[in-house]
Amino acid sequence: LVNQGSMAGLTQDTLATATTTNTGSISGPVDLDTGSITQTGATASMGATDVAAGTVLNADDGTVGAVTTAGTTNIGNGDAIAAIADSLIVNGGVTTVNSDGGVTNTSTVAAGAQLDSTGALGAVTNAGTLNVDAGTAGDITNTNIANVDLGASAGAITNSGTFTNDGTVASIADNSGGTFANTGTVSGTSAVSGGVVTNTGVMSGATTITAAGQVDSTGTMGDVTNGNVLNVNDGTAGAITSTGTTTVGDGAGATATVASLDVDGGVTTVGTDGTVTGLTDIAAAGQVDSSGTLGAVTNAGTLNVDAGTAGAITNSGTANVDAGTSVGAVSNSGTLTADG
């Protein structure tokens, strides 16, 4: 079938080899149960389209309404003519949005289904496999496997599955479980309430770690508020406020540098390759164990300078300065043990 005019709708459900080419308008719903449909031409259009398993929809150009697919679907073919779908539900098979393709509204990917995009996606809810290979995507909610590749970008990410960012995402709205591996850039804030975020790239905005969240970083981070586990093994971070377990420097040799420490609780360890350039402030419930390099320290909790150096120390809590260490001037109104 070749349509160059106007049709009210289309149901294709007879021959397995049936083909339709649309260069005109199909205003009503399209039900593709057998064979394939190809649409070409900038002015070509189809209404809401249902693509069954084993069938093929090639919306190379023009517009198509809401697409629900369990087959093989292509939005765009990489040429200079745009192909735009209103929305997308991928219940099975593989759907590809090419560089000239776009989905205006929400895309939903079911378990077992796959969406690959080099075009422009709106918001995406993914329980299958999502690959943003290039182009853009809106906010992404991921519960299974999602990848944003180098050169691609996406909006805010909510993740409880497996997420890999090699490109640029606007923020981590919440990593509540699973893993988030960042080798690219998170340009805004990050919230980590569960799972593990591994950063070897750049997390520019402030990061907040709560509940069961963990961040391991060898890259670049902004300010961090840690309520569970933070490991700045290498690289840099801004001001750190911690009530959890924090490590600055893993002792493996590469330097970890943070701007300052505000330890309101928990235990913070500064390793031999760790450096705090600004003030370390320890509240009554906090503890800092250091074998690295500290700047000035104000301590109302527990400070153990086990090795390395520290700047001037003002102590109203419990401070221990071990042999072999070097510290600045000490002002003490608490308990001070100095073996150094």
The DSSP annotation for 131-185 comes to EE-SSB---EEESSEEEE-TT-EEEEEEESSEEEESSEEEEEEEEEEEEEEESSE
Beta bridge partners of 335: 318
Please give the helix or strand (H or E) that residue 26 lies within, else none.
Answer: strand 25-26
Q: What tens digit of pLDDT does each residue of 233-248 get?
A: 999 999 999 999 999 9
Q: What tens digit of pLDDT does each residue of 302-312 get?
A: 999 999 999 99
Average pLDDT of the residues in 275-285: 98
Average pLDDT of the residues in 213-229: 98
pLDDT the model gives residue 153: 98
CA distance 340 to 15: 88
HSE-CB for 261 with a 13 A CA cutoff: 38
Q: What tens digit of pLDDT does each residue of 281-295 get?
A: 999 999 999 999 999
pTM of the predicted structure, to 2 decimals: 0.97
Given a contact cutoff of 8 angstroms between Cβ atoms, the answer to whether 268 and 285 are in contact is no
Q: What tens digit of pLDDT does each residue of 167-211 get?
A: 999 999 999 999 999 999 999 999 999 999 999 999 999 999 999
Nearest to 156 by CA among 179, 184, 190: 190
Residue 122 predicted with pLDDT over 90: yes
Residue 340 predicted with pLDDT over 90: no
Q: What tens digit of pLDDT does each residue of 304-337 get?
A: 999 999 999 999 999 999 999 999 999 999 999 9
Average pLDDT of the residues in 87-96: 98
CA distance 139 to 108: 12
Exposure of 267 by Cβ count < 10 A (0-12 exposed, 13-18 middle, 19+ buried)?
Answer: middle
Mean of the per-residue pLDDT values of the chain: 98
pLDDT the model gives residue 127: 99
Q: What tens digit of pLDDT does each residue of 41-78 get?
A: 999 999 999 999 999 999 999 999 999 999 999 999 99
CA distance 111 to 335: 60
